[in-house]
Structure 1
């Protein structure tokens, strides 16, 4: 979206709420066997993958801080940072897998819903405070880390990212 164009905050807020409700439906409709079953196309169980889907929202909160810093620096700073992160992709992939597997023990099926409620509420509050200028700020991202990261992303695109990530992984769940 060209700079200066108004951002549809309502659509972003609605997508955040849609995913929050969807997660609660998934959590409420799954049995213990469903949670323990392997997902389709990942090394995670359904419960671990559900946490990873929540983690997509958690990471946005941290990335918003990074984008605020890097968007004020020369473009080359975030480009070099993204390249360095891309070079560390094999390490990231292993940490991402093991971290979600371990974190699902803490934010398990009983706690995950409350956790996502808090995260999305915080994102909603932050989104409501953003100016259009804030939402148009951006930086370079490590494109090898996630299929939904692009070379350059704005704050607006970052708010839209976790819904895409959530929907992608939702298709990998093997819940009855």
Structure 2
């Protein structure tokens, strides 16, 4: 049975290696989530540990999904920080699902949980960006996200080629 929970700074420190494995798996399988090949474990771990200050300031919330054995199989972040004129919105960042757990509802559960937490934080708008034409895009559309537009050549894919990004939003009831 899967479980979904939130990690605080101490939890992130304890799970940095497991989170690094999920991130590396996604990048090695072609996900455009900010990194290019080669992508060593140490670089993935450093990314996660770099989030500690924003977690400690409660500007970011980190959610993880664990599989039946307790291993992290997915993660998503809700970014809450921002300027005073943007405190009504939040951003979904680094929605990652390990290849062994894809197409099993992990991303949908993480996203719905992040949306609920955004509502509890008083946010009425949620934004995200996703690699155009990849498997996450239809999921976001299915869950009510609207397309703002597409930016060509926005980011390098893991192999270094440039790819487009679709920017999306959803109003939270």
Instruction: Give the structure-2-normalised TM-score.
Output: 0.28
Q: Which has the larger radius of gyration?
A: 1
Structure with the larger RCO, 1 or 2 (CA within 8 Å, 6+ apart): 1
TM-score (norm 1): 0.28
Structure number having the greater strand percentage: 2
